[in-house]
Structure 1
């Protein structure tokens, strides 16, 4: 031991104190040795001075050694302690160790070697216990912090859950409101469109050019507003899970051509070429023709809206006997890669400002995405700014209706089904402009 140790010896027998002092000196321990003869003086010394170790007699004149150790513990005085016993008594030893004594040594075995060994052992055990106690204290504090943090997290989770419930309630109210208002708005809009169409009939009198132009504007704006209202209604139904597909067997090429013909006037107004190409071995599918037409009209509407010059192509072809694909390409302004996912979000538009050049609800692509997923299909986007966009939709030839009755017939449209030669005995490939 190279450092100087402060050692306290507590014993009423001067000979025993001398034996300890001589043994430590012969062992070469660098120390400051202090001696007292009773427990009260020892307690006073330990209360004011920090010692590296204390040797004390088991039987002090004023108190029992066990009482002395308990007094130190109750006063929270911590020091390595070695009790010196006149006789070896295992029971006494166990009691002292339990009370907090670091080690013990029989006075009959005091020697330089033994005393140094016990001294080193006592100091090491004391510091090991001190470090362990420190670690345990840190663990307890960490555990308490974790408990407090968990309680705070639970409180925050409860708040978030309450907020989610409120948001869910608001969302349900919003969906109900949108559905109700959409129904309420459709009635007067249908009346406006109907009366506008009636005004064009010759039996109600010939309109002047200016009157006809104004009525046509009313009719076109009424149709546009009705389309926006229908989008909101469809979205509210999709969001509430109340929109069902009404599937039937139909000729998909006819539905495609019908949708294109409805949108051709808008393309012609912007001097855009609108091309259609159908390449199907079998044009019959089992799907919802109204929703297929809606998907295509929304895609064509976007293509026409965002294309100032050039062409728009619609291509329908087979991927396999059980899947078909519909592709709509344009030469419009294109879409930046960072916006690919965002444009399929509800109410999301690339330009969100009120002064944006291209108006709309921002629901068209969100509705398309939801309908395609309901049909068990996939939608793909390929676009480049300034070069145009391509939307490709892959659909099963026969969709599955999860709400259909268990005994509904299973319609087969691929292979040797009954429709494979009824209407399309030959390969169908057409291109119209």
Structure 2
């Protein structure tokens, strides 16, 4: 870079000397005939042309050199990012695989201890066992989500759709989830609107998405509060669906809309799209209190995509709390 700058400065310096030498006043001192003066003026023009070309060439060379250097650095950085991404993928795959067995063993022993020896345990020991069970299950779900995240990234996740009633399906998931919600002092209030609320969906994947969404709702709800779920059927162009989502749907099609609303502190508007990114953690103090892997809503969003649907976040009813909603095509 310094050498290139020196070349440009040298060309400028030469240009200045020749400008003085070929000035009209200087030429008149040396060229005593009209023909000689005209010839000198011609030479002067060509010299200026060549010097200007040299100056332009030097400047272009400098810029091209800078561009080539920047391009080389970008390629190198991209290569490193690919390596880091591969390392991360391999690390997650190894961790997911290696942690399954010890988690299963811990959970098995703690469950056995609680069932077979509950009468011999003190209240404090029972609480310890409950804490072991609860955190082991939480760890199991995190490992499961990390494993699924890598399958999603690799495009190898399988979706096996069957026809099901979404409202009934959600009520069943709520029944399964009631114990965990009750541990946090949170209850569920399901509601449905309409008769035929069926869709073609993968029960396992839909269940996984719902549990991730409901888990988040419970996690950020205050004890004693209610998480509301609502299921309804709408056309793709219905105004109840946000315009940004509505524009990506088929206006002639019918969709099943599912909403899960909590009474927590809500999601800041600037973060409502980011919460569906992998490993994203909100700046909320509640997020710092309830740390997770940051992949639950990312997986839920991808599952909706695989079903031809969409997911989004907004404020809860009356501007309180958060509402996570998604749509999937209604059954034919």
Q: TM-score, normalised on structure 1? A: 0.59
Alignment pair present for 1:161 and 2:79: no
Deviation, 1:182, is: 0.5
Deviations 1:368-405 (A, max 9, x none): 222222322111221279821111101123xxxxxxxx
| Preserved contact between residue 175 and residue 239 of structure 1 (Cα < 8 Å) | no
**CA distance in 2 between partners of 1:230 and 1:258 (Å):** 21
**Residue 309 (structure 2) pairs with residue 377 (structure 1):** yes
Counterpart of 1:208?
A: 121
Q: Which residue does the alignment assign to 1:217?
A: 131
Alignment of 1:248-287 (within 5 A): 248-287=162-201
Deviation at 1:193, TM superposition (A): 1.8
Deviation of 1:206 after TM superposition, in Å, equals: 4.0
The two structures, once aligned, show a CA RMSD in angstroms of: 3.2
- CA, structure 1 residues 57+138, in 2 after alignment: closer, same or farther (shift >3 Å)? closer
Question: Following the alignment from structure 2 to structure 1, what is the Cα–Cα distance between the partners of residues 266 and 118?
Answer: 47
TM-aligned CA deviation for residue 194 of structure 1: 2.4
| TM-score (structure 2 length as normaliser) | 0.75
Looking at structure 2, the residues matched to 270 and 353 of structure 1 have their Cα atoms a distance apart, in angstroms, of 17
Equivalent residue number for residue 346 of structure 1: 278
The Cα shift of 1:228 comes to 1.4
Q: CA deviation at 1:343?
A: 2.1
Paired residues of 1:176 and 1:236 also in contact (CA < 8 A):
no
User: Does residue 188 of the first structure (1) align with residue 102 of the second (2)?
Assistant: yes
Q: Which has the higher contact order (CA 8 A, sep 6+)?
A: 2
Equivalent pairs counted in the alignment come to 289
Structure 2 alignment gaps of length 5 or more: 1-21, 236-252
Cα pair 2:312 2:325 within 8 Å, conserved: yes
Going from structure 1 to structure 2, the CA distance change for 1:136 and 1:378 (only over 3 Å counts) comes to farther
Among 319, 327, 331, the residue aligned to 1:394: 327
User: What is the correspondence of 1:23-172 to structure 2 with a 5 Å cutoff?
Assistant: 50-52=26-28, 54-56=31-33, 81-82=37-38, 100=39, 130=45, 134=48, 137-138=51-52, 140-172=54-86
How far is 1:139 from its partner? 5.3
For 1:239, the equivalent position in structure 2 comes to 153
More strand by share: 1
The alignment partner of 1:177 has SS state of helix
For each residue in 1:175-198, what CA deviation from the matched residue of structure 2 results, as whole angstroms up to 9, or x when unmatched?
122012102111221222223333
**Alpha carbons 2:162, 2:203 under 8 Å: kept:** yes
Separation (CA, whole Å) in 1 of partners of 2:51 and 2:306: 59
The answer to whether the aligner puts 1:310 opposite 2:228 as a matched pair is no
Tell me how far 1:258 sits from its aligned partner: 2.2
